[in-house]
Amino acid sequence: MIDIFSLDWIRIILKIVFVVSAALYLGYTFIVFRQIQVMKKTLITSFSPSINLLGLINLFLAGGLLVGFWMFL
C-alpha cells in the first residue's frame, strides 16, 4: 500500500513551497529596488545613497535566501 503521508512527500512539498515563496520574494525585492532607483532620480535628498544601499542589501539577502532554500532544504 502506498503511504501518501510519508515524510519524504512532506519534505518535497515543503521544499517546493519554500523555494517558490523565496523566488516570489526575490521578485518583489527586485521591484522595490527598481522603485528606489526611480525615486532616487526624481527626488534627490541627502539620504538617497543610504536608501539605495539598504535596497541593494535587501536584494542580495533575498537572493541568498533563495539559494539557501534551494541548496539546504
The pLDDT confidence band at residue 58, using thresholds 50, 70 and 90, is very high
When pLDDT is averaged across residues 41-52 and rounded to a whole number, the result is: 90
Query: 2 falls in which pLDDT band (50, 70, 90)?
Result: low
**What's the Cα-to-Cα distance from 24 to each of 4, 44, 47, 73, rounded to whole Å?**
28, 30, 28, 17
14-35 pLDDT, tens digit per residue, is 999 999 999 999 999 999 999 9
Q: Is the pLDDT of residue 7 over 80?
A: no
